[in-house]
């Protein structure tokens, strides 16, 4: 995907969000109650790979690596009576189970397919939700690829296809129609400091996408 087509996609996403705010009718629950009313979520996002370590990306440093990803994801919010959600309450308001399917292209390799099942921890009760419906999330799971990405092979031996998966995310939506959300995400694979006994260098992608909540 070229920079021009990526800009066009972001523009279309923004227009969809603006249109939903203009034409939506009715009222919606706020905060974590939104995810209880609409427990299913479908997400698409496009990401670009960076050559920097995760800590440096979080600090604001990013250098482009010639690879990009496209991801489709389906997630389900555990209900309030679920024992896992009760265990983490009230520290975490929303607990989700998700299955993420990713396609990697670039760096002169064949297309790589990636599967990332994970559990998500989402915070949705923010005081400014009546201006912008917001949620912040962290996801932890496993990641399997059909071939080890080139960026993970650099200067390493004993690379493995199965690694740890971590995602960091922020979502935003108009309060008049919070079911349609703009998503910003960091998509991370690594050996988790030796837990997976893998020599892979961690790979990181910064993505932007769109999510729809439904029941």
Contact 189, 35 (CB under 8 A): no
Q: Which residues contact 59 (CB under 8 A, 6 or more apart)?
A: none
The pTM of the whole model exceeds 0.75: yes
Closest CA to 65 of 126, 158, 4, 151: 151
Contact 135, 120 (CB under 8 A): no
Distance CA(93)–CA(151), nearest Å, equals 36
Q: What pLDDT is recorded for position 155?
A: 73
Which pairing describes strands 40-50 and 94-106: parallel, antiparallel, or unpaired? unpaired
Q: Mind listing the pLDDT tens digit for each residue in 171-205? A: 999 999 999 999 999 999 998 887 888 888 889 99
Query: Residue 116 carries which DSSP code?
Result: E
């Amino acid at each position: 995907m070229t920079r021009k087509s990526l800009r066009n996609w972001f523009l279309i996403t923004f227009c969809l969000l603006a249109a939903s705010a203009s034409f939506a009718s009715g009222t919606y629950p706020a905060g974590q109650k939104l995810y209880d009313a609409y427990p299913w979520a479908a997400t698409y996002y496009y990401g670009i790979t960076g050559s920097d370590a995760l800590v440096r990306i979080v600090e604001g440093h990013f250098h482009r690596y010639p690879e990009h990803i496209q991801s489709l994801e389906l997630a389900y919010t555990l209900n309030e009576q679920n024992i896992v959600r009760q265990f983490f309450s009230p520290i975490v308001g929303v607990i989700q189970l998700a299955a993420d399917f990713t396609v990697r292209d670039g760096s002169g390799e064949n297309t790589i397919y990636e599967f990332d099942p994970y559990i998500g921890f989402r915070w949705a009760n923010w005081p400014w939700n009546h201006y912008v419906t917001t949620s912040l999330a962290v996801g932890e799971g496993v990641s399997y690829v059909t071939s080890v990405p080139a960026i993970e092979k650099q200067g390493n031996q004993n690379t493995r296809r199965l690694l740890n998966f971590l995602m960091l995310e922020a979502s935003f939506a108009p309060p008049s129609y919070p079911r349609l959300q703009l998503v910003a995400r960091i998509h991370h694979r690594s050996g988790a400091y030796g837990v997976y006994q893998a020599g892979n260098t961690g790979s990181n992608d910064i993505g932007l996408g769109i999510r729809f909540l439904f029941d």
